[in-house]
Structure 1
Amino acid sequence: MGTVRSAHEECGLSYHRCRWCGTASFRRLLCPVCASSDLEPERGTGHGVVVRSAVVHRYTEAARNESLVRFSEGFVFRCRVVGVAPHLVAAGARVRPVAGAEPDEGDVVFELCEPPVLNAWT
């Protein structure tokens, strides 16, 4: 009988690592460092840290978040952070993949690992 995992433990992120220089990349056909096409698929935890965050109103009436996230595997990628008001996502926040969302099929969607700290000025 196998071990039981939570939904968050089963989530991950498929990415590629260059066989020539070892650089990790996400959704690229060529290595961003050496331009090699010899990329090996790997799967990581998908946990990352928000480097930059912005509230975007483009193409929709509702505001949404777009964040630049640095992943523990060594690459940076732009994605959406959901489950919290867009303006509450700050640089330094830790994120994880949304359970049940498959990032290979469209938008890359993450959620905060910890809820944001609210104070009287927020």
Structure 2
Amino acid sequence: MDLKAAELVYQRCRWCGTTSFRRLLCPACASSDLDSHRSDGQGVVVRSSVVSRYRRAMRSESVVRFPEGFTLRCRVVGAPPHLVREGTRVRPAAGIAPNAAGELVFEVFGVCDTDERERWHRQW
């Protein structure tokens, strides 16, 4: 699947303007009157942790904030898990697939900034 063709769709409440991702009701006012909008998909990590429970390899679980105002919990690849920090810019990466309803599921994001990636590799 071509990542450039993939779209990250979020909702904006018509009543209060709150943005959310994959919600049936507005998290602020509980309205069901939501408009769908497209995001460019690039966000910033606001919280990250390393998860290794029940897995052979460690991975990064992060909360990513998008400029449109919503947040998304996802995995971040492209850098060692313990080096994914707050402020790291990310974009959709491998792991984008349609779900049972035919919507694209964004579960994996990759590091955008190639300079940061190169710096991380030099540290090793």
Give the shorter-chain TM-score range. 0.7 to 0.9
The reply to whether residue 47 of structure 1 matches residue 46 of structure 2 is no
The reply to whether residue 75 of structure 1 matches residue 74 of structure 2 is no
Alpha-carbon offset, residue 102 of structure 1 = 3.7
Percent identical: 57
What does residue range 43-122 of structure 1 map to in structure 2 within 5 Å? 43-98=38-93, 101-102=96-97, 104-106=103-105, 108-115=107-114, 116=117, 117-118=119-120
Give the RMSD, CA atoms, in angstroms: 2.3
TM-score with structure 2 setting the length: 0.79
Question: Which segments of structure 1 move beyond 6 Å, counting only runs of 4 or more?
Answer: none
Aligned length: 116
Give 5+ residue unaligned stretches, structure 2: none
Give 5+ residue unaligned stretches, structure 1: 1-6
**8 A Cα contact 1:11 1:100, kept in partner:** no
Secondary structure of 1:10's counterpart equals coil
TM-score with structure 1 setting the length: 0.80
**8 A Cα contact 1:12 1:97, kept in partner:** no
